[in-house]
Amino acid sequence: MYYLTSPYNKEGDRIGAPYESLEKAKEDAKKNERFGYVVYDSEGKLVYNPTTSLKASEILYQARIIADYMRKNGYSYGHASINPAIAKGMPDCDKLCSCDRLVGWALYNAGFTDQPYLHGLTDELIPFMLRHGFTEITDMNELMPGDVIYVGYRDQPAPYGHVFIHAGRSAQNDCYRYDAGSVDRIRCIGIYEAYNQSGQPFCQPLELSEKALFRIAYRPPTEK
């Protein structure tokens, strides 16, 4: 038997009924790759992962949990004084998050916890990822779910303009993305109202405008 479940395969994480067919389980995991789902067998062995690594699936899984948490708890856009990954649940939490800090929060929950207590990862995000074995991806045609994407003007110097977590492609070749680039995105309001009940990831073109052209991406490390 096979199970569609979280990358952690913890009790209660399984989605739906067991599968007798591995091919059907793999098909459904591929359809749900944006949520970080993978396939384990009845002996607890990982048998299929539609992303590049289990760590990439963990980041996607955590990004959805975080996006839902922020939406349901009234977060706004901004640079929190305490790293949001650490401040979550604190009585004096100012409930602010920005695009880079959503990424940092997802990385924190996926095990990359050596982050600063104050502010969070801002200019430090790229060096942080490189230090942890993330790989630079320069071809947008090679993007995979779980990659961290930077966009901006092509002639704009680093640190680019915006960052989000790529969660795969839709049937129309649009980009699923976990993105905290505005209060409307965080709360799923305004033009994102359609996601107010279902939550992120959003499905939009990868490059939304001339201000948001693909620059570079960083792929989570493959576990040995």
- Per run of 10 residues, the mean pLDDT along the chain (length 224 residues) is 96 92 97 97 96 97 97 92 87 86 97 92 92 96 96 75 94 93 96 95 92 92 76
Query: Dihedral, CA atoms, 29, 70, 126, 46, nearest 10 degrees?
Result: -20
Per DSSP, the three-state class of 206 is coil
Q: How many helices (H) and strands (E) does the chain have?
A: 6, 11
| Dist CA 63 CA 106 (whole Å) | 5
Query: Dihedral, CA atoms, 74, 180, 62, 175, nearest 10 degrees?
Result: 130
Name the residue ranges covered by the structural domains of the chain: 2-48, 54-219
Tokens of 125: 């995000």
| Dist CA 87 CA 58 (whole Å) | 21
**H or E, element range at 202:** strand 202-204
Tokens of 152: 């901006």
pTM of the predicted model as reported, rounded to 2 decimal places: 0.95
Q: What is the pLDDT of residue 153?
A: 80
Q: Are 62 and 97 in contact (CB under 8 A)?
A: no
From 3.90.1720, 3.30.1380, 1.10.20, 1.10.3470, which CATH number describes the 54-219 domain?
Answer: 3.90.1720
